[in-house]
């Protein structure tokens, strides 16, 4: 009787256990077949830490393999918020604020995230890292990275540019050749214990591939000389801006390029666009009298004029249609040689009228104006050179003297190099080669001739005339002791917003090369809005003299054989 009374209870308990067992079995089946991947991934995340392994960014060297952009070891700070009690977080934030110079809201956002890994500060200074370590806060950790550093600070800032925190190029060569410099990131899976602390045991790893190195045509010594003198004239003339380009006229290699204002490459987080802008290749301006080299060469090449032909310069005032043209000093009869040497606007215009708009325009284009020269720096602009059909009636009196055209400093450097090297327009370039870590060349860049502009005979005749500019003309302040030089001065009125020419804002310039018998360098100096003195022969010519004399002495003791020139086959 008693057994019969307990049987329903026994069956009920058995049924309950059976249902529970079947439920567990079904749950296990469900987990095994439908949730196994998810749970396996979750376990893997809890016990594995994925870290990206940063590649070493390539070094940038000058032409003599002196480092101009390098990598230094740096430590980055991360936090595991889940390891820190919420009650301790406010205290930690207050301790970190003065060390990291961080905003309180930023740190609160980071520490209160429900994650096991959050960056707090990237690439800290050694002092910051030591200060954080001294706090001995549980949940904070360090990862070794590399920080881009520029040993020479301001030097060649507009050539080198800079890279961001993630080692991605943002300006200059760092941007233009980022794909070569950056390298390829690797990764590693590190094991973690039950408390999610990283163990020095990796499960899988792919090593990073370091970036290639760049070797530039820039010479650190030449760059220093150019920047030293540019800085002097920028400050002494109270200028708005200034630029200088030093080029090997035979190859197109840029030995130095600088602008003012400039900036410190190691501290560029708060630098304005005006300081970062590479004025030498992306600023457009009317060149003024330095542009007369185009009319000079066109007249000689077309055999329309010779050096001793005489032109009446109207005693300083010449009417062209509705426009009256003036010389800065009145002249009567001048030979063609004297027209250029004394920079007569009237004499140059009369020569241009003999040539006609089509010939003048053709030589403007042949000298490389109005078109991108293709330098391996980002931001180069084309400039402005109008077609003859777009000329007005007074354009024949404006364009030959450097008005109604827009040029860059780089274009002027390439143009004057045509005369210096015997008539060839060379493509300017800054990168000499790309190398791997074993200094084996991956890619090499050779000089490239865009086109033959004038004959070698015309170039020699133009050289002698431009040498007279320095010896007896408007550029006497460019004359050096024991070194021959040739060049052209320029003083251009800037345009006002209403379209008229300013009587208080000028661009002073000098373009030239030295030594005349075998030019080693061409130099272009442009100073924007100097005062109180604003003539190119007074402001820019002395800069040419100081830079050229020091550079030539340096190059003659460190002469490197010139590379062979590749010619344009088109």
CATH number at residue 368: 3.40.710.10
Q: Are residues 170 and 122 in the same domain?
A: no
Cα 24 to Cα 15, 20, 43, 536, distances in angstroms: 14, 6, 21, 93
Place of tokens 């001294």: 134
Looking at residue 36, its pLDDT comes to 65
* Residues 329 and 386 occupy one common structural domain: yes
- Say whether both 112 and 256 belong to one domain: no
Omega within 30 of 0 (cis) for the link into 532: yes
**Do 65 and 189 fall into the same domain?**
yes
Domain shared by 317 and 232, yes or no: yes
Q: Is the pLDDT of residue 22 over 80?
A: no
Coil/strand/helix, residue 316: helix
CATH number at 68 reads 3.90.1310.10
Percent of the chain with pLDDT over 70: 89
Burial class (CB in 10 A: 0-12, 13-18, 19+), 18: exposed
Q: What pLDDT is stored for residue 112 in this prediction?
A: 85
Parent domain of 124: 89-142
Residue 457 has which token pair? 């005979």
Q: Using an 8 Å Cβ cutoff, are 319 and 284 in contact?
A: no
Spatial separation of the C-alpha atoms in residues 424 and 448, rounded to whole Å: 10
**Does residue 10 sit within a domain?**
no
pLDDT at 198 over 80: no
Q: What is the mean pLDDT of the chain?
A: 89
Beta bridge partners of 216: 431
Per-residue pLDDT, 461: 97
Is 7 inside a domain boundary? no
Judgement on whether residues 353 and 426 belong to the same structural domain of the protein: yes
Considering the domain architecture, whether residues 158 and 180 belong to the same structural domain is answered as: yes
Note the pLDDT of residue 183: 87
Domain membership flag for residue 35: no
Inside any domain, residue 2: no
pLDDT at 480 over 90: yes
In a domain? residue 113: yes
Same domain, 288 and 246: yes
Distance CA 7, CA 553 (A): 115
Count CA atoms within 13 Å of residue 103 on its CB side. 3
Residue 555 forms part of a structural domain: yes
Same domain, 115 and 162: no
Tell me, what's the pLDDT at 1?
A: 47
Structure tokens at 258: 């600088």
Could you tell me if 382 and 487 lie in one domain?
Answer: yes
CB 94 within 8 A of CB 102: no
Closest CA to 414 of 471, 373, 363: 373
- How does residue 126 score in pLDDT terms, banded at 50, 70 and 90? confident
Q: What are phi and psi of 442, to 5 degrees?
A: -90, -40
Task: Indicate the range of 39-48, 203-212, 290-299, 454-463 predicted with least confidence.
Answer: 39-48
Tell me what the mean pLDDT of segment 507-530 comes to: 97
Determine which helix (DSSP H) or strand (DSSP E) holds 70, and give its type and residue range: strand 67-79
If you search the block for the tokens 């090499």, which residue do you land on? 444
Residue at a domain's end among 126, 142, 158: 142
User: What pTM was estimated for this model as a whole?
Assistant: 0.84
User: What is the predicted pLDDT for the residue at 570?
Assistant: 42
DSSP letter assigned to residue 81: G
Contacts with 441 (C-beta within 8 Å, 6 or more apart), sequence order: 433, 434, 435
Whether 570 maps to a domain, the answer reads no
Structure tokens at 148: 């881009």
**Per-position b or e across 67-89, b if 16+ CB within 10 A of its CB:** bbbbbeebbbbbbbbeebeeeeb
Residue 29 lies in a domain: no
Under DSSP, the state recorded for 266 is: T
Residues 171 and 117 in one domain: no
Q: Total domain count for the chain? A: 3
C-alpha–C-alpha distance, residues 514 and 549, integer Å: 9
Looking at residue 121, what DSSP letter applies? E
| Residues 115 and 137 both lie in one domain | yes
Please list the active-site residues: 289
Query: Using one digit for the tens of pLDDT, what is the confidence trace for 271-314?
Result: 888 899 999 999 999 999 999 999 999 999 999 999 999 999 99
Question: Are 544 and 426 contacting, i.e. CB atoms less than 8 angstroms apart?
Answer: no
Q: What is the pLDDT of residue 231?
A: 97
Q: What is the predicted pLDDT for the residue at 402?
A: 95
Kindly report the CA angle at 484 between 297 and 64, in degrees rounded to 5?
A: 95
């Amino acid at each position: 009787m008693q057994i019969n009374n307990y049987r329903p209870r026994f069956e009920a308990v058995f049924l309950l256990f059976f249902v529970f067992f079947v439920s567990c079995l079904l749950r296990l089946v469900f987990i095994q077949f439908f949730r196994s991947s998810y749970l396996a991934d979750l376990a893997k995340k809890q016990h594995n830490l994925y870290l990206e392994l940063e590649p070493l960014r390539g070094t940038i060297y000058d032409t003599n393999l002196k480092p101009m952009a390098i990598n230094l070891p740096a430590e980055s700070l991360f936090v595991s918020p889940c390891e820190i009690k919420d009650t301790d977080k406010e205290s930690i934030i207050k301790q970190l604020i003065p060390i990291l110079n961080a905003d309180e809201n930023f740190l609160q956002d980071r520490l209160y995230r429900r994650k096991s890994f959050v960056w707090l500060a990237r690439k800290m200074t050694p002092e910051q890292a030591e200060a954080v370590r001294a706090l001995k806060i549980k949940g904070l950790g360090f990862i070794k990275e590399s920080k881009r550093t520029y040993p020479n600070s301001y030097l060649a800032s507009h050539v080198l540019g800079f890279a961001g925190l993630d080692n991605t190029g943002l300006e200059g060569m760092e941007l233009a050749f980022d794909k070569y410099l950056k390298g390829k990131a690797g990764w590693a899976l590190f094991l973690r214990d039950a408390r999610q602390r990283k163990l020095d045991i990796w499960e899988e790893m792919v090593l990073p591939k370091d970036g290639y190195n760049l070797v530039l045509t820039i010479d650190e010594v030449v760059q220093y000389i150019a920047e030293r003198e540019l800085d002097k004239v920028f400050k002494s003339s109270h200028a708005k801006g200034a630029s200088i380009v030093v080029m090997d006229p035979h190859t197109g290699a840029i030995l130095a390029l600088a602008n003012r204002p400039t900036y410190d490459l190691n501290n560029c987080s708060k630098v304005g666009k005006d300081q970062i802008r590479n004025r030498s290749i992306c600023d457009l301006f009317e060149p003024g009298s330095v542009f007369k080299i185009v009319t000079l060469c066109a007249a000689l090449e077309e055999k329309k004029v010779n050096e001793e032909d005489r032109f009446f310069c109207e005693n300083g005032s010449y009417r062209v249609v509705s426009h009256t043209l003036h010389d800065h000093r009145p002249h009567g009869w001048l030979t063609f040689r004297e027209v250029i040497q004394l920079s007569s606007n009237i004499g140059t215009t009369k020569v241009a009228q003999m040539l006609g708009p089509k010939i003048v325009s053709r030589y403007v284009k042949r000298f490389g104006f109005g078109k991108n020269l293709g330098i391996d720096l980002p931001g180069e602009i084309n400039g402005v050179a109008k077609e003859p059909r777009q000329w007005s009636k007074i354009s024949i009196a404006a364009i030959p003297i450097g008005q109604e055209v827009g040029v860059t400093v780089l274009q002027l450097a390439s143009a004057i190099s045509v005369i210096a090297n015997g008539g060839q327009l060379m493509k300017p370039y800054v990168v000499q080669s790309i190398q791997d870590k074993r200094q084996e060349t991956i890619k090499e860049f050779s000089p490239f001739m865009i086109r033959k502009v004038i004959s070698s005979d015309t170039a020699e005749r133009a050289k002698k005339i431009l040498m007279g500019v320095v010896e007896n003309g408007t550029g006497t302040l460019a004359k050096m002791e024991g070194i021959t030089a040739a060049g052209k001065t320029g003083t251009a009125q800037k345009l006002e917003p209403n379209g008229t020419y300013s009587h208080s804002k000028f661009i002073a310039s000098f373009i030239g090369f030295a030594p005349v018998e075998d030019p080693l360098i061409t130099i272009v100096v442009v100073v924007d809005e100097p005062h109180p003195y604003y003539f190119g022969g007074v402001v820019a010519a002395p800069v040419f003299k100081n830079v050229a004399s020091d550079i030539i002495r340096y190059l003659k003791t460190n002469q490197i054989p010139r590379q062979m020139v590749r010619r344009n086959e088109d």
